[in-house]
Amino acid sequence: MATYTPQLQRFFYSHYFSGGLRQAIGVLLPALVLAGIFQMHAIGMITAIGAACVAIIDQPGGPRRYGTNGMMAAILLGSLTAFIAGMASSHSLLIWFVVPLLCFIFSMFTVFGKQGGLLGFACLLIMALTMREPLAPHAVLEHTLYSFLGGVFYFLYSLAAHRLLWHREEQQALSVALFATAEYMAARSRFYDVNTDLENNYRLLIHAQSDMTEKHQAARDTILRELPKRHTRADRLHTTSLNVFIDMVALLDSLVATHTDYATLRRSLPDSDALIFARDALKKLSANVEHIALNIARDKHVRERNSVKAELRAFEFELETYRRDGIIDRDPEIYALLVQVLRRLRNATRLVDRMATHTSGTTDAGLVDTRLDKSLDRFLARKKWRLGMLTSNLRLDSSHFRYASRVAIAALLAMSISGLWPYLGTLERVAPNLSTHSYWIVLTVLIVMKPGFALTRQRNGWRLTGTLIGCALALALFSVTQNTDIYLAVLIVCCVLGYSLIQLNFMAAAIFNTVFVLLVFHFLSPGSNAVIGERLVDTVIGCGLALLCSYILPWWEHRYMGSLAKAAKKANQEFFLTGLRYAGLSRAQAAAHAEGLEQTLALDAEQQEAELAWRVARKNMHIAFSNFASAFYRMMDEPIRRQANVPELNNLLIQNHVLASQITSAMPVLASLPAVPEGIQKSLESVELYLNDQDADPPASIETEGELATLAYPLRQMVKASQLIRQEMRGLGNA
């Protein structure tokens, strides 16, 4: 078995490819039927545009109820947009007012999050493609009707596809999350390699954790829609997905549950074989998780996997050797760290083996966590759409307002350039018909421009490079063959890959989309390759305008970093407080059971609710930390003069990560104690005071007898991390 699954194999079994295939079929089918069978080429293109508008919302990896609502909104708003743009297309002055206005309105939809941004872009896409040629007033209703029918067709087709392939969607979403988990494990294994740089390792780990959090939430929204209720085959399949997901989250908790002092380990044991065994064991476990992910995506059972028994036994032997050499008396903290690493590796091995067992099909077991109930819907993502969110952002200090203004100005400039093109002499001879293709320049602006400066600049390069390569490939294709069947086959392949790669590789998606569009125009106007040059010039102008307008009312990431840092701190604070409540109720529950008190059932229910609240807080903590980390690294891609408080923010990232890890590690131990000793209680109170931005006086030493020894390191790290978070947050407030 290969250590790392080839990326190409992962792609073809992922929901990105299956989603792209579903979208391409839904968009092309009405056009192919109407054009190929009924020779209604123009109507076929209009219905395809309407279907493409709805297909943008039908993204893989999200909860179905939001996708369904979004597609319905796209049908209604898209049809309204097509009508307005169609009516304005024949009025040379009105179109100059309507296009910037629609660009502003729909770009403001980013206030509703990712789904709102997709809906806004879908409407802008149908606007840009509707204005490609003037429409007579009597033709506008027909155009709107055909576009509406195309959207309805895709909506019904998508519902049918999702109903039939629901289990594949679960498997693919789970597979993507498992691949992200494997990459996170591989990033963690680098910490045990003394030849790697710790700071760079943390940077890679935080990137991997941010990506993994997003993939886990997508899998959560897909899989935790409902619990199995009967014993049908569908319920058994759903139970398998649920069990793997539960163990995947438990595996993540096991890995994140402690922040090992890697610097101390490296300094004290620079040539230790124990670190090598830990690294190799974690790498093998990462490869096993990858193997499980691929087999789930392929709907196959896991029959073989790498064994880590040799590495674990070798680690145990090294640990015993250190113990005989007196490390417990000489350096007890290092010994405790090594024991901690061994325990984590054993637990991770158990969970990975159990995940593989779930996929084997040899058992008919129920859920591994019998406490799951309807309260699981609290783990799902919530999206609120309120008109007030839109109107409250109509102000100059809103990033959404600034972004919408930039897009509107860029669209106005694009129309101005296309209108002035016939008067520009030499340039007009390069692309004589550019003035009739203003919609393509506008479309390029809409595709490239993003709320963040760094992403806009990045997309500019990808879009230009992809268009150039796509134009070259189209020219080569037209030169090699004149066979229309080959053109049609290439068109379909490019449409599928264009949709599939849009979330994975924007430049590759731009290549395939360029070839696809050029082939569409070749079928509409065969015998002329002039459109290739025009498309290239259109794209260069659109990208130039997008980059130029990104400096208009820019919103730099550093302006938003303070609020994201506060959100991460607040999420950690909530995680800590709910953890204390969970631990306290667990101790009370154990005492009540021991004494046989009558209120045991009430305590049981209260303790289960507290544990659920702690788990929800843990999920929210991961999301808040991921948002903070993603914004920080976006800021690092911006011009240096636009970066602010980099050392403080970087330290906040690390300390929030440390604090969350130690909370995850300490709370289960606290919950198992019969009582909390005074020193430990004072340490916990100090953490709470620091997180409340108050002074604290943590104890110089805490109790370490017996089981309490496992709390010593986590509590010291929690106190230190919370103190540093308070210090850095104050620094940000004074900056």
pLDDT tens, position by position, 131-144: 878 888 889 999 99
CA distance 10 to 31: 31
Predicted local confidence at residue 614, as pLDDT = 86
The lowest-confidence range among 79-83, 204-208, 231-235, 250-254 is 231-235
**pLDDT 10s digits, 377-408:** 555 555 667 777 888 888 888 888 999 999 99
Token digits for 275?
A: 């670190």
Residue 1 clears pLDDT 50, i.e. is over it: no
pLDDT, tens only, 468-492: 999 999 989 988 988 888 988 999 9
Q: CA torsion, points 162, 165, 168, 169, in degrees to nearest 10?
A: 0
Q: Flag whether pLDDT at 158 surpasses 60.
A: yes
Q: What sign for the dihedral angle of Cα 443, 507, 218, 208?
A: negative
pLDDT digits (tens, 9 = 90+) for 310-348: 999 998 998 888 888 888 777 776 777 788 788 888 989
Q: Which residue has the tokens 């999050």?
A: 113
Residue 253 pLDDT greater than 90, yes or no? no
In the DSSP assignment, the letter for residue 289 is H
- Cα–Cα distances (Å) from 534 to 338, 420, 509, 603, in that order, read 65, 16, 20, 73
Residues 198-215: what's their mean pLDDT?
83
Count of all residues that appear for the chain in the document? 735
CB atoms within 10 A of CB 370: 7
**Averaged over 455-463, what is the pLDDT?**
85
pLDDT at 422: 60
- C-alpha to C-alpha distance for 441 and 128, rounded to whole angstroms: 9
Contact of 400 with 130, CB cutoff 8 Å: no
User: What does the pLDDT read at residue 439?
Assistant: 75
Both tokens assigned to 513: 């989309």
Other Cβ atoms closer than 10 A to 330: 10
Query: Which of 38-42, 128-132, 600-604, 629-633 has the least mean pLDDT?
Result: 600-604
How far apart CA 507 and CA 462 sit, in angstroms, is 5
Contact present, 662 and 714 (Cβ < 8 Å): yes
Tokens describing residue 730: 């104050």
Q: Do 407 and 401 meet the contact criterion of CB atoms below 8 Å apart?
A: no
Q: Which residue, chain included where needed, has tokens 């130690």?
A: 662
3-state DSSP of 80-105: HHHHHHHHHHCCCCHHHHHHHHHHHH
Residue 374 has a pLDDT of 47
Q: What angle in degrees, to the nearest 10, is found between the helix axes of 198-223 and 233-256?
A: 160
Token reading at 58: 């039908």
Confidence of residue 712 (pLDDT cuts 50, 70, 90): confident
Higher pLDDT, 238 or 656: 656
Check residues 252 and 71 and name the one with the higher pLDDT: 71
Q: Look at the alpha carbons of 455, 460, 466, 470 in this order and tell me if their dihedral is positive or negative.
A: positive
Structure confidence at residue 724 (pLDDT):
92
- Residue 254: which pLDDT band, with cuts at 50, 70 and 90? confident
Among residues 289, 66, 284, the alpha carbon closest in space to that of 175 is found at 289
58: exposed, middle or buried (C-beta count within 10 Å: 0-12, 13-18, 19+)? buried
On average, the pLDDT of the chain sits at 83
Instruction: List helix spans (H) across 306-331.
Output: 309-324, 327-330
Helix (H, G, I), strand (E, B) or coil at 182: helix
Quick one: DSSP state of residue 553?
Answer: S
Name 446's Cβ contacts closer than 8 Å, sequence gap at least 6.
103, 121, 124, 125, 128, 407, 411
Query: Coil, strand, or helix at residue 190?
Result: helix
**CA-CA-CA-CA dihedral for 532, 535, 540, 542, to nearest 10:** 180
Distance of alpha carbon 71 from alpha carbon 53, whole angstroms: 9
Q: Each residue of 633-650: pLDDT tens digit?
A: 888 888 888 888 888 888
Instruction: Give me the sign of the Cα torsion angle 275, 278, 284, 285.
Output: negative
- Return the pLDDT at 197: 84
Locate tokens 């879009």: which residue?
A: 463
The pLDDT confidence band at residue 145, using thresholds 50, 70 and 90, is very high
Q: How much is the average pLDDT of 287-315?
A: 86
At a CB cut-off of 8 Å and minimum separation 6, what does 598 contact? none
pLDDT tier at 567 (50, 70, 90 boundaries)?
very high
What is the average pLDDT across 542-559? 86
Q: Which pair of tokens denotes residue 716? A: 């010291």
pLDDT above 50 for 733: yes
Residue 521: both structure tokens together: 């125009």
Contact between residue 119 and residue 57 where contact means Cβ atoms under 8 Å apart: yes
| Average pLDDT of the residues in 616-625 | 88
Q: Which of 248-257, 562-571, 617-626 has the lowest mean pLDDT?
A: 248-257
From first CA to last CA, the distance across the chain in angstroms is: 53
179: pLDDT confidence band, cut at 50, 70 and 90? very high
- Checking if the pLDDT of 259 tops 60, the result is no
User: At the top level of CATH, which class does the domain 167-369 belong to?
Assistant: mainly alpha
User: Which of 5, 644, 688 has the alpha carbon at shortest distance from 305?
Assistant: 5
- With cut-offs at 50, 70 and 90, classify the pLDDT of residue 521: confident
Query: Is the CB of residue 535 less than 8 Å from the CB of residue 488?
Result: no
Percent of the chain predicted with pLDDT > 90? 24
DSSP H helices in 190-258: 198-223, 233-256
* Pick from 681, 646, 666: nearest CA to 714: 666
The pLDDT value recorded for residue 367 is 64
CB of 402 closer than 8 Å to CB of 554: yes
CA max distance for the chain: 95
Cβ-Cβ contacts under 8 Å for 561 (sequence gap 6 or more) = 628, 631, 632, 635, 644, 645, 649, 732
Interval 584-595 mean pLDDT: 73
CA angle in degrees (0–180, nearest 5) for 304-307-310 = 160
Instruction: Answer whether residue 704 shows pLDDT above 60.
Output: yes
Residue 48 near residue 150, CB atoms below 8 Å: yes
Q: For position 241, what pLDDT does the model report?
A: 84
Per-residue pLDDT for 539 more than 60?
yes
Give backbone dihedrals phi and psi of 557, rounded to 5 degrees, phi first.
Answer: -60, -30
Question: How far apart are the C-alpha atoms of 555 and 552, rounded to whole Å?
Answer: 9
What is the amino acid identity at position 597? L
Query: Cα separation of 132 and 658, whole Å?
Result: 55
At a CB cut-off of 8 Å and minimum separation 6, what does 362 contact? none
Task: Please state the pTM of the whole predicted model.
Answer: 0.81
Percent of the chain with pLDDT over 70: 86
Compute the average pLDDT of residues 253-266: 70
Helices assigned H by DSSP within 377-452: 387-391, 399-420, 426-430, 438-448
CB atoms within 10 A of CB 149: 18
pLDDT in tens, 64-84: 655 788 899 999 999 999 999
Indicate whether 596 pLDDT > 50. yes
**Mean pLDDT over residues 357-366, rounded?**
66
